[in-house]
Every structure is written in C-alpha cells, then in structure tokens.
Amino acid sequence: MKQHVRITLALAVMAFAAACNKKDDAKPSGPKIHIAKPEQTIAVGQSVELKPEFTQDAGISFRWTVNNEPAGTSASFTFKPQTQGDYKITFVASTTHGKDSANYRITVLGQYANGILLLNEGWMGTETGSVFCYQYGADTLVPWVYKAVNPGKTLGGLANTLQYGSIHNGKLYLVVKAGGPLVVTDATPLVETGRVNNIASGKGMTFLGLDATRGLIGATDGIYPINLSTLAIGAKITGVSGATGNMVKSGNYVFAHNSTDGMAVLNAPTYAVVEKPFKATIGFVTGKNGRIYGAKDSLLMSVHPTTLVKDSVKMPFRAVSPFGAWRSVQMTASTLNDHIFIIQPGSGWSYGKKLYRYVAGNAASINEPFITLPDDQWFYGSGVNYDPRTDELVVTTINGAMTGRINKVAFYNAQTGALRKTITYEGWYFPAMTVLQP
C-alpha cells in the first residue's frame, strides 16, 4: 500500500514539473488588432479619427500607411484627405514577439457631395448669384462655395441672375439668366471646368443632359443642342419657338415646357418634334409612375411617357405662367410614392404660401393644402424639391409676399407634412432653387 502511494506521489510530482516546464517553454504572442468600422465614407474637408483596439504589450510600436505611403507612428491616426478617391489605410502593431495588421477602406467624396446645393439669384444691380451648400446633419449653410474654389470668377454680371442648375454625368451646369453665361463645374468640388459666355441667343434659361456628349439649352427663343465635350452650341432646333423652361427626358422623348406650345415633345436622338399634347401653363416633373406632370390652368395634367396619352385632375387653384420673370417650376415628385407636390401661386405678382400634394389615382387628395407656410414666409424660386435620401421636401422661402431679405431653407416630412428643421440666412440673396447630388 505504501509503495502504491509513493508511486502515485512521484507521478503527480512529475506531471506538475512537466506542466511547469511546458508553461515556461510557451513563447509570448504578438499584439492582436480589432477595428470596429473598417469601411467608412467621408467628404473632402472632413476628417475621421481612426482608433483601433489592440492587445497591449511592452515595447509595442505602431505604423500607419495611406495607400502604402508612411503616414504615422502613433496608436491612433486622424485622416483628413485633400482629394476625393478610394483610400486603403493600414495599421500595424509590432513587438519583438510578433505583429498584426488591419486595413481601413475609406471612400472620400467631393467636398460638397454629402449635401444639397442652394442656388441664389443674387441682388440684381448690386451682387451676382451665389452657390451655398447644406451638408447633411448640419444646422447651417456653407456660403459662397463656388466663389471659394474659383477665386476671381463670377456667375455672370450685376444685370444677370443665377436661375437654374442641374447635375449631369458628374458635372454641375449653372445657367445664368438675362444674358449670363453657362458655367460648368465638377459636381462635388465645384471647380469650374468650362463656360459659355454667349448662350444660344444670349439668353439661356435651363439645361438638360441627354447622354455623355449631348445636352439641350432652353433659351428665350427656343431650344439649342450643346456638345458637352466642347461646349459648342448648335443651331436652334426647328419646330419650337418661344421661351423654353424646364425640360425632362424619359426614354426616347424630351418633354419641354414652352411659352408658345405648352408641352413640346421631342425625339431625343433626332430632336424632331413628335407632338404637342397640351397647352401647359407650368411643367414638368416625372412621377414615380413614369408619367410626366404639369399643369394647365386649374388642371394637374399628366402624359404617359411612351403612348403620350393624357390624364388630368382638378386642382382648387389656377397655375400661373412663369414666363416673363421666369423661375424653375414650383413642382416636385416623390421617388418613394406616387406623390406630386405643387405650390399654389399668390395673387397678382405675389408669391404663394400653400403647397398641395396629389396622390396618383386619388382626386380628393389635392383638395386641401399639404403644407401651409408660417405667417412670415412665402415660397420663392422653385420653392420645393424632393430629397430621396431623407424623404423630405426641401423648401425655400423669403419673408415677404413680393421681396425679402430673410431667407429660409425648411425641411418637411414628405409623408406627413411635419416641419423637421429650418435654417435661416439673411441678405438679399433670393433663393432660386436647390440642386440635389445624385
């Protein structure tokens, strides 16, 4: 019995010694890295602090690279890019016992990609037009963003007004009314890449991009094709005369609002006039259902995009022609629902205070106002735009029925009409329209 106990104790001692020797022989491991958000998106001018988690060890060192170029040796790294693009940022933690690495993928958008551009007409005779920017999540506007990146350049002269803008194929096309230029910039950094000082007849109003190389200019005397590669403007399109405002493209058709014909439908590849379906008072926007919407007097009209079959619903007010002191159409369309939004004009030359919503197929939906502005605000310029990123109506107002120096950009819930936020900026700016980044 005693012999058995002695053997058991000896085996236990040997096992304990072996375990101790095994523990002593284990090699220390290097650091281990964990990153919570390996993929992020920011814009030029913004910064992001990268703070990876790692197991601490004596003698640890760090190394950061940006697209394989050395960038830092601290435990964290603040990345503030100057140009847009895709970046690979690598973090390495090392000790004498080993190392670990992890990668961030940062997409950098243009400086104003994550926002809404606000075009201001300017104060005729005193100050030229301007471009401001609302950046999502902010409570203010960044002023004079075009001017900031294009020193010494202006959007026309004191007798011109910045009235229209459109983003097409990565470019922002700004049309300055009353004899001003067509100015072309990159869509997000807003750096000017070209301009045409004499637009068509000298008085351009709108722009529509068709494809990579072709566009159309709506002018005070018709429609002109423009080569987007050279910015050369061709001969006026035959069959359309009179001032031409908003234009939209659907399939092989272009629907143009014209002071002479109302709606003029062009074949997009050939520019031939296909039909003139109805004498539109205002137009046009494209509904989620694909129909092209405008108004004729007190009727909200729509046209099927391929068959050109018309439909209409009665509105509780009459539309007023924008030609004369032309501004972009005071209509917009949801991309989430079959909802069309239209502003009721004021009496005489005054601006309106009520916005109506038409739910496609429900004639009664347009009988009552969807939004009524506060007592001290009136719609100005195009007045309303639908933002699909937030499902909001972006509304521009001034503080007078005829004029005003207190400007507001208000954000309304497009489903309920509830006001979410208002931003105020003061000065004789006169907001013409908002332009959404695609």
* pLDDT surpasses 70 at 14: no
- What mean pLDDT comes out for the span 206-219? 98
Residues of the chain with CATH 2.130.10.10: 282-438
- Amino acid symbol at 88: K
Percent of residues in the chain assigned helix, strand, coil, to nearest 5: 10, 50, 45
Residue given tokens 């694909």 in the structure block: 290
- What mean pLDDT comes out for the span 306-332? 96
Q: What is the pLDDT of residues 172-201, one digit of tens each?
A: 999 999 999 999 999 998 999 999 998 877
* Summary count for the chain: helices (H), strands (E): 2, 36
Q: Which fold has domain 282-438?
A: Methylamine Dehydrogenase; Chain H (2.130.10)
Residues contacting 327, CB < 8 A, separation 6+ = 163, 381, 382, 432, 433
What's the pLDDT score for residue 200?
Answer: 76
What's the pLDDT score for residue 13?
Answer: 43
Given the candidates 2.60.40.10, 3.40.1000.10, 3.40.50.300, 3.40.50.720, the CATH classification of the domain at 33-109 is 2.60.40.10
User: Listing from the earlier edge strand, what are the strands of the sheet with 244-250?
Assistant: 244-250, 253-258, 262-267, 273-275
Using CA atoms, how far apart are residues 301 and 111, in angstroms rounded to an integer? 39
Residues of the chain with CATH 2.60.40.10: 33-109
The full DSSP string for 40-95 is EEEETT--EEE--EE---TT-EEEEEETTEEEE-SSSEEE--SS-EEEEEEEEEEE
Where residue 11 falls among pLDDT bands split at 50, 70, 90? very low
What's the pLDDT score for residue 97?
Answer: 85
Using CA atoms, how far apart are residues 27 and 78, in angstroms rounded to an integer? 34
Polymer length of the chain: 438
Q: What is the pLDDT of residues 144-158, one digit of tens each?
A: 999 999 999 999 999
What's the pLDDT score for residue 4?
Answer: 47
pTM, two decimals, is 0.84
What's the pLDDT score for residue 96?
Answer: 86
Where residue 1 falls among pLDDT bands split at 50, 70, 90? very low
Where residue 3 falls among pLDDT bands split at 50, 70, 90? very low
